[in-house]
């Protein structure tokens, strides 16, 4: 039952001089969840609470039955995170080594790691780059590598925080197409690209740290655009 449920009960996140999330309660079961809202509204903070990178100051969070504050190891296996800048999450010197990293950490047998890495690189069109130094990849290839390295760990949820922000139109389409159309995992997509948000099953809107609107993406986006047009 709790397999694909994300639940927030009266969650607040306070930093030293700022409250970034205020009394957020929501229950999410949809597969594609868009998160929109103005700069500084709390979107990234919300995203980071999902895998325990940020811990709630108040309230309860459950992600697929896991409490990220109390079970940080379990939640990091369950929740994969993609950032705007893939350079921040590529760890190893070559493409194949980077993809293998999470499996090595789990202590899987060498032969299984090799087979899974080969299959994943093929899937992402990175097979020819297997032994290339990662700094030789284009930004689009780096974002594909970051995704590949996350998905090989078989997370149940992928949180993507502005994953197309640094990409050109063709690579944005490629990454967005994968996340929105091909990827079987549940997705939380933080984005300022409202066309991507429109392709999700539900949109959440944050303003001033509050969950200010939610529902079908079309109407939520229309209300957001209307508010943004106000002087």
Ligand X SMILES: Nc1ncnc2c1ncn2[C@@H]1O[C@H](COP(=O)(O)OP(=O)(O)OP(=O)(O)O)[C@@H](O)[C@H]1O
Per-residue exposure over 7-39, b if at least 16 CB sit within 10 Å of its own CB, e if not: bbeebebeeeeebbbbebeeebeeebbbbbbee
Residue 188: closest CA among 11, 43, 10, 37:
43
Rounded least distance, CB 24 to ligand X, Å: 12
CB of 163 to ligand X, least distance (A): 13
The one segment of 25-33, 35-43, 179-187, 212-220 that binds ligand X by CB under 6 A: 35-43
Q: Are 32 and 48 in contact (CB under 8 A)?
A: no
65 counts as binding ligand X under rule CB under 6 A: no
- Smallest distance, Å, CB 217 to ligand X? 17
DSSP class per residue in 55-72: --SEEEEEETTB-TTT-H
Does 45 contact ligand X by CB under 6 A? yes
Residue 188 in contact with ligand X, rule: CB under 6 A: no
- Take residue 115 and report the two structure tokens written for it: 């087979």
Q: How far apart are CA 178 and CA 119, in angstroms?
A: 16
- Name the minimum Å distance from CB 224 to ligand X: 13
> Cα–Cα distance between 141 and 134 in angstroms, integer?
9
Q: Work out whether 7 is an interface residue with ligand X (CB under 6 A).
A: no
Q: How far is the CB of 219 from ligand X (least distance, A)?
A: 21
Are 71 and 63 spatial neighbours (Cβ–Cβ below 8 Å)? no
Q: Which of 28, 34, 43, 102 binds ligand X (CB under 6 A)?
A: 43
Pairing of strands 32-37, 210-215: unpaired
Interaction of residue 205 with ligand X, rule CB under 6 A: no
Nearer of residues 23 and 123 to ligand X, judged by Cβ:
23
CA gap 145, 117 in Å, rounded: 11
164 touching ligand X, by CB under 6 A: no
Angle between helices 169-177 and 139-151 (to 10 degrees): 10
Choose which of 5, 23, 29, 40 interacts with ligand X (CB under 6 A). 40
Indicate whether 57 belongs to the interface with ligand X (CB under 6 A): no
Kindly state the number of chain residues that form the binding site for ligand X, as judged by CB under 6 A.
11
Shortest Å, Cβ 222 to ligand X? 20
**Interface residues with ligand X (CB under 6 A)?**
15, 18, 20, 37, 39-45
């Amino acid at each position: 039952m709790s397999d694909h449920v994300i639940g927030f009960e009266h969650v607040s996140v306070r930093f030293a001089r700022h409250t970034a999330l205020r009394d957020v309660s929501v229950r999410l079961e949809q597969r594609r969840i868009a998160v929109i809202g103005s700069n500084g509204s709390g979107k990234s903070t919300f995203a980071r609470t999902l895998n325990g990178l940020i811990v709630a100051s108040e309230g309860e969070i459950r992600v697929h039955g896991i409490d990220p504050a109390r079970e940080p190891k379990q939640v990091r296996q369950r929740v994969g995170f993609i950032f705007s800048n893939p350079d921040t999450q590529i760890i190893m010197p070559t493409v194949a080594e980077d993809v293998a990293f999470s499996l090595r950490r789990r202590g899987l047998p060498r032969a299984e790691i090799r087979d899974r890495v080969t299959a994943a690189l093929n899937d992402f069109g990175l097979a020819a780059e297997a032994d290339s130094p990662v700094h030789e990849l284009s930004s689009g290839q780096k974002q594909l590598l970051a995704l590949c390295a996350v998905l090989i760990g078989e997370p149940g949820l992928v949180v993507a925080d502005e994953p197309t922000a640094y990409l050109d139109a063709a690579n944005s389409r490629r990454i967005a197409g994968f996340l929105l159309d091909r990827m079987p995992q549940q997705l939380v997509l933080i984005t300022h690209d409202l066309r991507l948000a429109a392709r999700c099953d539900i949109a959440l809107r944050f303003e001033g740290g509050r969950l200010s609107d939610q529902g079908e993406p079309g109407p939520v986006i229309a209300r957001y655009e209307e508010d943004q047009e106000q002087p």
